[in-house]
Every structure is written in structure tokens, then in C-alpha cells.
Amino acid sequence: MNEHLQRHGVLLDIDGVLHVGNEAVNGATEVLQWLRAREVPHRFITNTSTRTAEALAEQLGGMGLDVTADQIFSVVTATQRYLQDRGHQRPLLIVNDTVRAAFSKADSDPEDPDCVVIGDIGPRWDHALLDRLFRALMQGAELIAMHRNRYWQRAEGLCLDIGCYVAGLEYAAQVEATVVGKPNAAFFQLAAADMALDPAQCLMVGDDIDSDVAGAQAAGIRGLLVQTGKYRDTALQRAAVTPDAVLPSIAALPDWLQAEGG
């Protein structure tokens, strides 16, 4: 066992790093096997708001990626915990039906919501829904965003993500959203603590310069950017942060880790 490698904790984004669409990124399966064989601590940290950790693990397994639900830090689970910690009992849940059951203990369609929770609902966004959320915020409901990603990568290309709706509601209601997932530093730090490592001992591998790299660096974690998924040269060029490394894909991670230990 390489003691240097064991001193690293690796956080891996899922969508765009391990897979794009329904296909694993070339080399991703082998990298996960490499990490396990060398007992390198690693966790999976994701803003995916349409699947629970259990469903994500099952989906990844179907692509040949060996990931267990207890290794996944899901924004769905984190949002559920946030609502419980804050004592919210009447959330207005704007979430995918696939994860609604995770919030079954709360009244998810109240007349007088104490918060508005925004996740990915695909094409269901319309003006009437935005008006309803705006009115709830103007009456004092807290705006909670599972994340505020600008866009994401699908097989057919880049697609708008929920960040544009979050930003619009913030502007109209003159409020600031609580963002539960990346780039919230607490989200990264929770995953680092689960490996019993300090943030400075960890690195984050992601395809999003803002949510993954900037968020990790703000939490004291090194941020590595891969050129798969939503990666675009233009986004890197205009970013306010500099990645600690840029890798062509996750397949290059073992060589980078070994070079760091040299």
C-alpha cells in the first residue's frame, strides 16, 4: 500500500466525470478499481436532484461502475437533513417525482409554505409556477435551492439547469437562496469528514469549474477539472478561479496521483 496515496481523499463528481448520459466515461471503471485496490479513500459528491443515493448507485451499477449508496453524498439527502435541522414542516417542494418520497414526512403542498425547495423538474417549469413561487417568497418563505448549476451535459448537448430559475426568483423577490449542494463548502466538508480527513488532505475531481473546482477550493480542498461532461474551454477561460490541475478525463487521475507522490 502506498502511504502517500492513503493520505489523499478523493471526491468525485458523478455526472460528466464518471458517465455522460447512459454511458460510462472511458477508463472510469478502471479508475474506481484502482482506487479501491490501493485503499485510497474516496466518496462521490453530486448535485443530481432527480435520484436518491440508492437509485444513483443502481444506475451506475448498470453502467459497470461499482458505487455503493453509502459512498454517495447526494444533494437530495442533504436537503432532507437541512429541512429537518431548520424545522421546516411546510415545504413547497418543486422536485422530481422520483425523489418526492424522500420528503414524505413533510407536507409538500401547503397553502402557507414556510420554504420553497427547488430541484430539477425538467420541462415542467412555466410562468404560472414561477408566479406561485414568487408569491410564497414575498410572504416570507425561505428559498432553498438544491443547487444552482447553470447548465449540464446531456447526450444531445448542453441544457439549462435550475440555476436560472433560482437567480430569477432571487432577483424578483429580493431574497438570497440557501444553496444546499455544491458549491456550498459544508457539502464538501461533510464528505471529507466522512473519510476522517481534513479538507487540505482531499481533492475534488469535477467537470464544472464553478460548482466543483471553485466550490472545493473555497472549502480548502484542491480542485481538479476534467475535460469531459460539461467542460468547455470558454468556461475555463472566463472563470475567476484556476484549477489545481486540468486532466483530459478521470482516466488520467491515477498517473496524476502517483506523480504527486513522487
pLDDT recorded at residue 69: 94
For each of the domains in the chain, give its residue range(s) and CATH number, in order of start.
3-47+183-261 (3.40.50.1000), 86-179 (3.40.50.1000)
pLDDT recorded at residue 243: 97
Contacts of 42 (CB under 8 A, 6+ apart): 9, 10, 11, 12, 35, 71, 195
CB of 9 closer than 8 Å to CB of 202: yes
pLDDT means per 10 residues, the chain with 262 residues, are 64 95 94 94 94 93 94 92 91 93 73 93 94 97 94 82 96 97 92 92 96 95 96 92 97 92 52
Contacts of 215 (CB under 8 A, 6+ apart): 182, 183, 184, 185, 187, 188, 204, 223
Q: What is the DSSP letter of 139?
A: T
Cell of 191: 464528505
- Collapsing DSSP to helix, strand or coil, 181 comes out as coil
Q: What does the alpha-carbon distance between residue 185 and residue 6 come to, in Å, rounded to a whole number? A: 23
Cα radius of gyration (the chain): 18
On the 0-12 / 13-18 / 19+ scale of CB atoms within 10 A, 27 is: middle
pTM of the model: 0.85
